[in-house]
Structure 1
């Protein structure tokens, strides 16, 4: 295997042990963004390349903006774990994964530096030039594993990426004073919320009941698309933002 990375932006090729062929001949049509959740990028790079870690990713971007590639884009990396998006469960076979170094919520979650965000933006654009990835299929790890994962988190600048042409985004509807829908609520409004979240791609059961699972999905949605308040309640701001996103998604032409 040649040591040249797929992306000319990557300055380090550090092959991971955990990689394999994509199943069923899948080609990447999804991009998943993560944070490392470790105290240093060097430790993250070491862990992501070790066989015993049982994880891997295609790229790692450190806080200075340096990019390392660990798994070929043509190969299946082990980054998504137990996850679901748009009805699919084997997301490792259809996705590319980018780890962005940040200590995360466990070790002092902090803003993503400008140099890092500049490199993430450039890398995403470079990937999109090679792969037909629709805007709604550029997602957070928390989107595909609500309640289990929180990365890259509410400090990540999704709006910036969208302005550059990466991912789906609308201006979030302003916060209000209403409590909206929440745990224990039932009925047609809850069902409509579940249908809309599922329409965007989230794994949601259509039960008409606002249970813990739906609360976690709403939190994940807010962490990505309405970051001003993350409380798991579907207030008017949350539901309006979701409606705007669905409209924007439907208006996006299919490649």
Structure 2
């Protein structure tokens, strides 16, 4: 991570609980400057603790001991008001809203991901955040959000100590809704929760359908989460 610049956002308030989560987002805007301007706009009522540019430099918008407004209505492992519980990192990437001319999702540059991992691991260590509570926005708000997208390299993060990734698949698949609940997903809308799960752990097929491979991977992740 080359540089962390402080550009204070007015959009924050006091936490109501301690920190035990890290939430990753993509900005989903045409440029990083557009996203930065929005998070510094008091009328927008949105912010994050950090934003990471494509070149790996970062901006600190809200101090970690304050409650940034990035998670919205969300739930993970039965907890709500995740703004109070989490630190949010916005990663500059146009995502589904600003795809490439080919229609593909814009890649995350290596230097940007390296910076996200360095920043994320420092935050996790500082606040003793459990590995099972490192999430994407789509994980905690599956009916509303799809970021940081199926193109985000979750497996690479896990290989570098940020989050978990199953290396061995479960021998038997379990009931999907049960596995998703054990991981932490709100399964009020099972199809949306399934799509969010696939977006992270089975990105080659994000359709919200409960096929055998999805059930097997979900059982594997549930087993992994239960073991730590």
Does the TM-score normalized on the shorter chain lie above 0.5?
Answer: yes
Alignment correspondent of 1:233: 209
Alignment correspondent of 1:30: 21
Alignment equivalent of 1:200, drawn from 177, 183, 202: 183
CA contact (8 A) 2:95 2:106 kept: yes
CA distance in 2, matches of 1:140, 1:45: 19
CA contact (8 A) 2:2 2:56 kept: no
Alignment equivalent of 2:11, drawn from 18, 23, 31: 18
TM-score where L is the length of structure 2? 0.92
CA contact (8 A) 2:5 2:58 kept: yes
SS at match of 1:232: coil
Alignment correspondent of 1:185: none
CA contact (8 A) 1:37 1:101 kept: yes
CA contact (8 A) 1:9 1:123 kept: no
Shift of 1:88: 1.3
Alignment correspondent of 1:215: 191
**Rg larger in 1 or in 2?**
1
The list of structure 1 runs, each at least 4 consecutive aligned residues, that deviate by more than 3 angstroms after superposition, is: none
TM-score where L is the length of structure 1? 0.83
- Report 1:1-255 matches (<5 A): 10-23=3-16, 26-108=17-99, 109-171=105-167, 192-205=175-188, 213-252=189-228
CA distance in 1, matches of 2:78, 2:182: 10
CA distance in 1, matches of 2:224, 2:11: 37
Question: Superposition RMSD on alpha carbons, in Å?
Answer: 1.7
Give deviations 1:188-228, integer Å, cap 9, x for gaps: x7xx32121111100114xxxxxxx2111100000011111
| Structure 2, gaps ≥5 residues long | 100-104
SS at match of 2:43: helix
| Structure 1, gaps ≥5 residues long | 1-7, 174-179, 181-188, 206-212
SS at match of 2:97: coil
SS at match of 1:60: strand
CA contact (8 A) 2:25 2:136 kept: yes
CA contact (8 A) 1:143 1:221 kept: yes
CA contact (8 A) 1:58 1:77 kept: yes
Alignment correspondent of 1:177: none
The 1:9/1:131 distance shift into structure 2, 3 A limit, reads farther
CA distance in 2, matches of 1:83, 1:249: 20
Give deviations 1:130-180, integer Å, cap 9, x for gaps: 01111110001001111210000000000111011111211486xxxxxx9
Shift of 1:10: 4.8
